[in-house]
Structure 1
Amino acid sequence: MTAEAPTAPTVPYGQLVPVAVHFDDLDALGLLHNARYPLLVERAWTELWSARGVRFDGDWAAAGDACNAVRELVIGYEAPVTRPGVYAVHLWLDRLGTTGLTYGFRLCSADGATTYARGTRVLVRLDADTLRPAPWSEGFRQAGRELLRPAG
């Protein structure tokens, strides 16, 4: 009889991306500092899209869909993170427009069962030369559709 590899936790939509909380992410009370939550979400978002070929390598003109800016960030804190370790960020898209998108997120336990914070972030795709809104590429839109949260 052979042992089976553990299965990765699944979520009904979107994707769970593992993140690490380090001792120095905690504040003087031993809680994850409030400013670290968006940082962990950003790292997970970057990892998710890098795996799909969307990344910034230092050249904005070549960055394509990675040339984007945050328009809005909303976050609510639900339970304190009180120790270092492996957690996860659950990411999904709520809206995928022509030049912008809204994604939802949860900072949660590694298995996705416990939610510590949740929120949304609005991104706008930019033209590298003008810094004006520009349309997402069809490849990005196709990958994004796989992350859309079902209606209802």
Structure 2
Amino acid sequence: MAAPLKVWRFIIARPIFTLNKRFFKSSSFMGAKKDDIEKAEPVENILKPKVKPHPETPAPGEYEVEPPKGKIYDKKPFKMELEAGKKYAWCVCGLSHTQPLCDGTHKTDFMARKQRGIKFHPHSFKVTETKEYWLCNCKQTDKRPFCDGSHKMQAVQDALK
């Protein structure tokens, strides 16, 4: 039995672990030798595990989830001149102070509590030619970010008086 060791005024009855000489071989602990590296198999040739798809996995496009529609901001669309090639971020949540474009209000803690877990992200888009476009302000459109007449629905009209 090994002699007891004194550590911080406590007596340890036996060593906690012992090191094996095989642990210190150059290829495992100290790093591989140059010859070992040259003989090593390329990373591309290492087999990767094959993953089988789950039998209940839906096919792409089988269950399309509609993006969430935000709070109704206004009953009518907004006419705005957009420049070709410039990137715009259309507000989806309906709480932006720079409507119809996003100002980052969806990131606030208040917004997260109010929408009960629904995460909104702005809809980024570019236009091909510079001209005036009608952007949706009711946030119920199916042709984001452009108006499709959804503001004419009775539910939208009744939401804001």
Report TM bin, short chain: under 0.3
Q: Which of structures 1 and 2 has the bigger CA Rg?
A: 2
**TM-score, with normalisation over the residues of structure 1?**
0.25
**TM-score, with normalisation over the residues of structure 2?**
0.25
Tell me: higher relative CO, structure 1 or 2? Use CA pairs within 8 A at least 6 residues apart. 1
